[in-house]
């Protein structure tokens, strides 16, 4: 199947590109970890595979889209422009992947030859290869398999095929309406130049590339559910693996890799405590009844505004299938740039005197450009960063903004600051060009302005603090205490302070969400907050891993070993050692339950809500007729649907459900007035109706029960069915599908 080949080529190119541009992943790990011994605790593949998949998917999809855009004017009318575009892209990236792979092999062979002929003397270099212990490999494998299984459940339970029905879970239907329409507009339609299918004729102002990828995979042979779910599973699992790898490297604890998925899949907030209090007041301490009520709930508990939307629940991943791809981009950039941050503090610690420290920080060569003969190959890492920020704007614009905010915070305290500046220039340049190309103007997509308090109507300092505490619960408290603890610990022991900075800068998107708006929709800022919480899970997992395995040993132990990042331990009597370790485990378990309780509750809601489904008929006679008898870029005048069989045809409707078009920046008010004027038949004037349809690009009308029952704001039925029967050609009738009549508008 060509769709599988497409994904394999993405993985092949991406991993070979990483192999060539990041010649020594172990050294990259060494540049991230606070202690050299930590770099042996995770295999290189935990970075190479997910990062390679993300880079491959984004690069191949990026080139495929623009190739199709160039080809669509020249291919025969009966050929989809994506076919030659896919052939071109797959051949190109197979060649590039092979080229990068060969060059990586030749470089490694040269290194081996040099090492064999070089006199190492009495001080051979230390080997920082992965410690291939069976328990470690087993743990990593089981956790990864568990994450993939969870991602498969999230995706297929809420969106799957059942015979000839495409079943969409209730909790995701509102988002999947436009997602299905966008994907189908590429697989069944020919959406070049690209328009928003619910709002054609006004370009597109939404980052749609992930759904273009889904449509392309559907065109290449994957069923629509697999076309959506497989990319989600790959990117969701990859993002969690990257989070877990960073958690191990920054904390020095292998167990952190297993804790991260629990924190991501089961979010933290104070909702669970308020919810249980309400249930106990209502039902007492009858545990069986409490569990039954708890397990049968089908609505999210609302403690903060919009909680009942599932805004922060696991539902956000089921809804926004492209979110974790954007998160992965941020994580890869962190991997690439943390070494510059760590090095600055490493050299500051080794430098004596305030004047010399200030010179090193502000005026040294290394503060602004790369070091000569740097074994980390910073210029190659910069190329990887360029590829990411150039391709990501229309995969996930919010995550690109978040990445730039985080990198700006890191750049202040890093070496090689001009590399950060170069990445920012590439990101801004790519965003400007692509938004101009797709939306006509950058301000149509991003309109940055000051706004305080996120979704709070009357934000005050105490109100915001209370909201944040309720929203995050212990996921707010633990990082705050850790930040204070790291400051005290690192300064007292004169340790490298870079982890304090990382902990601070990952909160910057969260802060940004409470200070500014990037679109007219306040709720769009939740993505910045979601990202910060995901990145804080790295540090929370480290804290819990330390508590589970406290570095406390009995004095009579002959040889002490520890996984602590600083390799420090405390020797006490055997009984005190046992007591302290038990207290640590109990504390970790209590904290873990407190952190995941809300998420556990919300999984029951997710399961129960999505047992109710909206099902689309993939064998609809109307859809089949539309595909066979109308041009691929046809625009229809219909009821303002958000999800409907119609969108499986890949065609567009003049005025779909307006919320997402409005939030993306389209002028929905003006179109709404035109829409209501059109469905009245322009007040019964056929010539005016034809003129306006020609102006708006409308070619067909679907008059069904839903449109005939349309009421305006005054509660009046405004559609005159006789007007359409008397003045336009009826080309099809489908009595079993809402008694739908299709009329052709002959200009």
Number of domains into which the chain is organized: 1
Q: Which CATH number do you get for residue 702?
A: 3.40.50
Give the pair of three-digit tokens for residue 274: 């308020």
- The Cα–Cα gap between 235 and 53 comes to 8
- Does the residue 473 lie in any domain? no
Assess contact for 427 and 530: CB atoms under 8 A: no
Q: What is the dihedral of CA 242, 247, 252, 257, to 10 degrees?
A: -70
- Does the residue 491 lie in any domain? no
Give residue 663's pLDDT band: very low, low, confident or very high (50, 70, 90). Answer: confident
- Does the residue 642 lie in any domain? yes
Choose among 90, 59, 84: nearest CA to 71.
84
What sign has the CA pseudo-torsion 444, 448, 449, 454?
positive
- Does the residue 344 lie in any domain? no
Q: Which residues pair with 614 in a beta bridge?
A: 168
Averaged pLDDT, 183-193: 95
Which residue do the tokens 């889904």 mark? 214
CB neighbours of 448 closer than 8 A, spacing ≥ 6? 516, 517, 518
Say yes or no to pLDDT of 683 above 80: yes
Give residue 557's pLDDT band: very low, low, confident or very high (50, 70, 90). Answer: low
Choose among 225, 266, 255: nearest CA to 42.
255
Say yes or no to pLDDT of 566 above 50: no
Say yes or no to pLDDT of 30 above 70: yes
Higher pLDDT, 495 or 231: 231
Rg (alpha carbons) of the chain, rounded to whole number:
28
Give residue 413's pLDDT band: very low, low, confident or very high (50, 70, 90). Answer: very high
Give the pair of three-digit tokens for residue 380: 């190659």
The answer to which of 443-447, 484-488, 512-516, 529-533 has the lowest mean pLDDT is: 443-447
pTM as predicted? 0.95
Averaged pLDDT, 22-45: 89
Averaged pLDDT, 302-325: 94
- Taking only the tens place, the pLDDT of each residue in 208-258 is 999 999 999 999 999 999 999 999 999 999 999 999 999 999 999 999 999
Phi, psi dihedrals of residue 736, rounded to the nearest 5°: -85, 0
Describe the strand order of the beta sheet including 613-617 as a list of residue ranges: 159-162, 165-169, 613-617
pLDDT for 124 equals: 39
Choose among 311, 291, 315, 292: nearest CA to 303.
311
Choose among 333, 60, 90: nearest CA to 209.
60
Say yes or no to pLDDT of 132 above 90: no
CB atoms within 10 A of CB 604: 14
Say yes or no to pLDDT of 558 above 50: no
Higher pLDDT, 84 or 283: 84
pLDDT for 521 equals: 84
Averaged pLDDT, 539-566: 72
- Taking only the tens place, the pLDDT of each residue in 137-182 is 999 999 999 999 999 999 999 999 998 999 999 999 989 999 999 9
pLDDT for 576 equals: 85
Give residue 55's pLDDT band: very low, low, confident or very high (50, 70, 90). Answer: very high
- Does the residue 659 lie in any domain? yes
- Taking only the tens place, the pLDDT of each residue in 360-386 is 999 999 999 988 888 889 999 999 999
pLDDT for 330 equals: 98
Averaged pLDDT, 192-196: 94
Averaged pLDDT, 514-520: 90
Assess contact for 250 and 241: CB atoms under 8 A: no
DSSP symbol at 125: P
pLDDT above 70 covers what percent of the chain?
A: 95
Sequence length of the chain is: 747
- Does the residue 688 lie in any domain? yes
Averaged pLDDT, 593-598: 96
Q: Which domain holds residue 649?
A: 619-744
- Does the residue 336 lie in any domain? no
Phi, psi dihedrals of residue 305, rounded to the nearest 5°: -55, 135
Averaged pLDDT, 595-603: 96
- Does the residue 196 lie in any domain? no
pLDDT for 719 equals: 94
pLDDT for 135 equals: 86
Say yes or no to pLDDT of 121 above 60: no
Q: What is the DSSP string of 178-190?
A: HHHHHHHHHHTS-
> Mean pLDDT, the chain, as a whole number?
92
CB neighbours of 177 closer than 8 A, spacing ≥ 6? 198, 641, 642, 643, 644, 647, 656, 657
């Amino acid at each position: 199947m060509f769709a599988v080949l497409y994904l394999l080529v993405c993985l092949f190119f991406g991993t070979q590109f990483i192999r060539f541009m990041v010649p020594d992943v172990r050294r990259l790990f060494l540049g991230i970890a606070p202690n050299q011994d930590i770099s042996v605790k995770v295999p290189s593949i935990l970075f190479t595979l997910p990062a390679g998949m993300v880079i491959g998917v984004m690069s191949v999809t990026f080139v495929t889209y623009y190739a199709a855009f160039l080809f669509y004017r020249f291919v025969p009318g009966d050929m989809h422009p994506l076919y030659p575009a896919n052939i071109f892209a797959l051949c190109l990236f197979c060649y590039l992947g092979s080229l990068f792979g060969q060059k990586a092999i030749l470089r490694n062979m040269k290194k081996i030859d040099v090492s064999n002929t070089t006199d190492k003397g009495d001080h051979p270099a230390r080997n920082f290869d992965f410690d291939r212990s069976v328990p470690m490999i087993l743990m990593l494998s089981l956790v990864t398999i568990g994450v993939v299984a969870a991602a498969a459940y999230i995706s297929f339970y809420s969106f799957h095929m059942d015979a000839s029905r495409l079943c969409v879970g209730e909790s995701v239907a509102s988002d999947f309406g436009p997602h299905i329409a966008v994907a189908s507009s590429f697989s069944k339609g020919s959406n070049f130049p690209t328009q928003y299918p619910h709002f054609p004729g006004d370009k597109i102002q939404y980052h749609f590339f992930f759904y273009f990828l889904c449509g392309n995979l559907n065109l290449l042979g994957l069923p629509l559910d697999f076309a959506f779910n497989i990319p989600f599973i790959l990117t969701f699992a990859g993002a969690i693996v990257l989070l877990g790898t960073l958690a191990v490297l920054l904390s020095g604890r292998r167990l952190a890799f297993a804790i991260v998925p629990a924190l991501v899949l089961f979010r933290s907030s104070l909702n669970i405590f308020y919810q249980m209090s309400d249930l106990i007041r209502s039902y007492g301490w009858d545990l069986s009844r409490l569990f039954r009520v708890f397990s049968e709930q089908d609505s999210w508990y609302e403690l903060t505004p919009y909680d009942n939307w599932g805004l922060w629940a696991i539902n956000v991943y089921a809804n926004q299938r492209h979110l974790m791809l954007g998160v992965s981009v941020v994580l890869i950039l962190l991997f690439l740039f943390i070494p510059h941050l760590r090095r600055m503090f490493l050299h500051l610690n080794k430098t004596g005197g305030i004047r010399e420290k200030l010179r090193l920080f502000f005026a040294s060569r290394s503060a602004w450009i790369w070091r000569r003969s740097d074994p980390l190959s910073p210029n190659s890492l910069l190329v990887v960063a360029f590829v990411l920020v150039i391709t990501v704007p229309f995969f996930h614009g919010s995550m690109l903004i978040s990445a730039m905010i985080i990198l700006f915070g890191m750049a202040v305290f890093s070496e090689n600051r001009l590399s950060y500046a170069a990445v920012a220039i590439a990101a801004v340049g790519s965003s400007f060009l692509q938004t101009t190309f797709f939306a006509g103007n950058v301000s149509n997509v991003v309109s940055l302005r000051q706004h305080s308090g996120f979704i709070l109507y009357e934000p005050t300092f105490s109100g915001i603090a209370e909201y944040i505490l309720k929203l995050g619960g212990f996921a707010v408290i633990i990082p705050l205490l850790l930040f204070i603890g790291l400051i005290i610990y690192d300064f007292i022991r004169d340790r490298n302070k870079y982890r304090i900075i990382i902990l601070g800068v990952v909160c910057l998107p969260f802060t940004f969400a409470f200070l500014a708006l990037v679109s007219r929709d306040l709720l769009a800022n939740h993505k910045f907050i979601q990202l910060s919480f995901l990145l804080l899970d790295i540090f929370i997992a480290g804290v819990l891993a330390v508590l589970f395995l406290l570095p406390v040993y009995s004095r009579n132990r002959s040889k002490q070993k520890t996984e602590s990042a600083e390799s420090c331990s405390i020797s006490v009597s055997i009984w005190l050692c046992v007591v302290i370790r038990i207290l640590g485990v109990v504390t970790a378990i209590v904290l873990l339950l407190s952190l995941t309780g809300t998420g556990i509750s919300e999984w029951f809601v997710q399961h129960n809500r999505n047992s109710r489904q909206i099902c689309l008929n993939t064998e609809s006679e109307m859809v089949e007729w539309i595909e066979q008898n109308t041009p691929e870029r046809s625009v229809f005048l219909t009821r303002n649907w958000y999800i409907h069989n119609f969108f499986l045809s890949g065609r567009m409707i003049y005025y779909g459900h307006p919320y997402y078009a409005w939030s993306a920046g389209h002028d929905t008010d003006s179109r709404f007035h035109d829409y209501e004027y059109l469905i009245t038949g322009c007040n019964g004037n056929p010539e005016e109706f034809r003129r306006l349809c020609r102006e708006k690009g409308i070619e067909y009308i679907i008059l069904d029960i839903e449109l005939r029952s349309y009421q305006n704001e005054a509660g009046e039925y405004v559609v005159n069915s006789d007007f359409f029967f008397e003045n336009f050609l009826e080309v099809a009738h489908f009595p079993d599908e809402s008694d739908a009549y299709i009329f052709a508008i002959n200009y």
